Amino acid sequence: AVRTAFVRLYREGLIYRGEYLINWCPRCETALSDLEVEHEEIQGNLYFVRYPLEGGGYVTVATTRPETMLGDTALAVNPKDERYRHLLGRTAILPVLGRRLPIVAAEEVDPEFGTGVLKITPAHDPVDFQIGQRLGLPAINVLNGDGTINENGGPFAGMDRFRAREALVERLRAEGLLEKIVPYRHAVGHCQRCRTMVEPRLSVQWFVRTKPLAEPALRVVQEGKIRFIPERWTKVYFDWLTNIRDWCISRQLWWGHRIPAWYGPDGAIFVAMDEEEARALARAHYGKDVELRQDEDVLDTWFSSALWPFSVMGWPEETLDLRTFYPTDLLITGFDILFFWVARMVMMGLHFLGEVPFREVLITPLIVDERGQKMSKTRGNVIDPMELIQSHGADALRFTMVHISGKGRSARFSRSLLDESRDFLNKIWNMARFILTNTEDLPEGLALSGRPFAWEDRWILSRLQAVIDEVRDYLERYLFHLAAESLYHFVWGEVCDWYLELAKVRLYGEDLEARRTAQLVLRTLLAAIVRLLHPVLPYITEEIGSYLGMEVSRSAYPKSDPSLRDPEAEAVLSAFQELVREVRALRAELGLDPGRELQLVVTGGAQAERILLELGPALARLARVRPRLALGAAA
């Protein structure tokens, strides 16, 4: 698949080999795409250097990288800058090396930066490269692949780039050409892999011509054929594709997909599926067999990744999997690879198959530590998920990750959150054990329908329907954290804290039919809860489900029953819960023994009478009181 894509793009004129300014890592000794460079603020210096002028005098230039002046081929000023208009057309002399430098006009020069005079080093700066291309200036590379100065650096050849900087500054100071050094904080590109400071460097590399691929990728999002969630990432996607530059895809690494290009004796290029085809192309070109040499570079790993939605389905063959599963519905990924991967999959999918690879893209936040810092080995804050699974279990880790996965750019992770998730799992397990233990004698064949419900049954079944609707809505909108939160509060705060306690009155009472009703409601609740929780907590719910005779992973996700919604029961239980809370708060405020039974006089009319008549035993159990109705309260 990778070779097919490369060969087709090359023959369509969308892959080319050329000399261009690229990002270069001196440690990895490889080219990097723009996306593989991370800019970090560093404390550096601004060096003010005097360049002598032919005919006398000098002009001062400010630079953060004095060692690159060894590759200067011009000086530039903004044509609107009155201070330097008189210098246009004159010639400066490069310090130390003595190279003659024309002084040219370039609107890219910022009159406010430094002195307003820019040294032009086309082989080592992106802006300078563009100016040099436009004005036909030579580009002199002064760096070897390992970051040392090459033969173009004169007396500094062989030195490391930073050692050369020190030596050059000392030389300039000795010759009276260093005017001053000013501390300067600025953003500098670093290699994403090894954190080494990256150098812009002129190099011959392979590139993808991205503009023709980006335009259709923009159009499908504008037309709504691909939707980003959250919506704000659509603008980020648009901005990047609108301003996209050609993609450097060759890498000087030991491992990867080797570029399928072979070179003849005179450097002619033959791109082919294999060496046999390359030899046939060379034979047709030269009229005879010649010795060929394959390109030693490998492809950027994101080139093959861009083909993933269809290459894994057997493309370029027309397989059943490809016809069945392309395009897919949803891609879930992090924002940090929106351009590395997502945009490129869209470009390649449209180009090779004429259809989007997916219809929705859910962008998740980046997991950071509890202080909000990105996890990295250098900071020592990386957490091994296998260790967390060993200590807390896979379900606890999964629930924690879902719970913190809001719609922000980052999600803070801490072990305390993991502890809370483990506590929740313990709560679920204890709830299930309580229900299973107290329903062991439930005869088979009994149905819930047609039975008289207690207030608490009506309430919890009504709340279950509301939670089912709420969770389904959250899941359909990819608000997984809200779905997890809703289930957490329902299971712990309503089922465990209230319904189980209320059900104990009948479970431990003498009314067998009332006990059976409570048992059936408990079983119904447990069966629904394990199915609701299963996408977030697959292991514990499957285990509990096995005791219910269920294969949870193959069960239908719960749907609500509108006939069980009961606003009246919810209002009654809300009043009951408030009463229990008030009694508990009053007991704590007065410093009364929690185990001491108190007498409670209730006022409140018909609703109070109803609560006492039907929920009196539960009130006595939960609040440790002997309740009675105030005289005239029911009038």
Reported as a single tens digit per residue, the pLDDT across 85-99 is 999 999 999 999 999
How far is CA 57 from its chain centroid?
A: 55
pLDDT mean across residues, the chain: 92
Asked whether 104 and 135 are in contact (CB, 8 A), the reply is: yes
Residue 626: pLDDT above 80?
no
- Per-residue pLDDT of 206-223, as tens digits, reads 999 999 999 999 999 999
The distance in angstroms from the start CA to the end CA of the chain is 84
- Round to whole Å and give the CA distance between 97 and 93: 8
Mean pLDDT of the region 61-72: 96
- Top CATH class, 415-565: mainly alpha
Q: Residue 635: pLDDT above 50?
A: no
> 248: left (phi > 0), else alpha (psi -120 to 50), else beta?
beta
* pTM to 2 decimal places: 0.75
Domain ranges of the chain: 37-191, 415-565, 573-629
pLDDT at 571 over 60: yes
Cα 20 to Cα 28: distance, rounded to the nearest angstrom: 19
480-527 pLDDT tens trace? 999 999 999 999 999 999 999 999 999 998 999 999 999 999 999 999
Instruction: Convert the pLDDT of each residue in 317-349 to its tens digit.
Output: 999 999 999 999 999 998 888 898 999 999 999
- Tell me the backbone φ, ψ of residue 205, rounded to 5 degrees: -140, 175
Model pLDDT, residue 634: 45
Range among 18-27, 73-82, 602-611 rated most confident = 73-82
Q: What is the largest CA-CA distance in the chain?
A: 116
Summarised one tens digit per residue, pLDDT across range 103-149 is 999 999 999 999 999 999 999 998 999 999 899 999 999 999 999 99
Mean pLDDT of 37-46: 90
Determine the pLDDT at residue 419: 94
Q: Using one digit for the tens of pLDDT, what is the confidence trace for 534-549?
A: 999 999 999 999 999 9
Q: Residue 26, CB half-sphere, CA atoms under 13 Å: how many?
A: 16
CATH number for 37-191 (one of 3.90.740.10, 3.40.50.740, 3.30.200.190, 3.40.120.10): it is 3.90.740.10
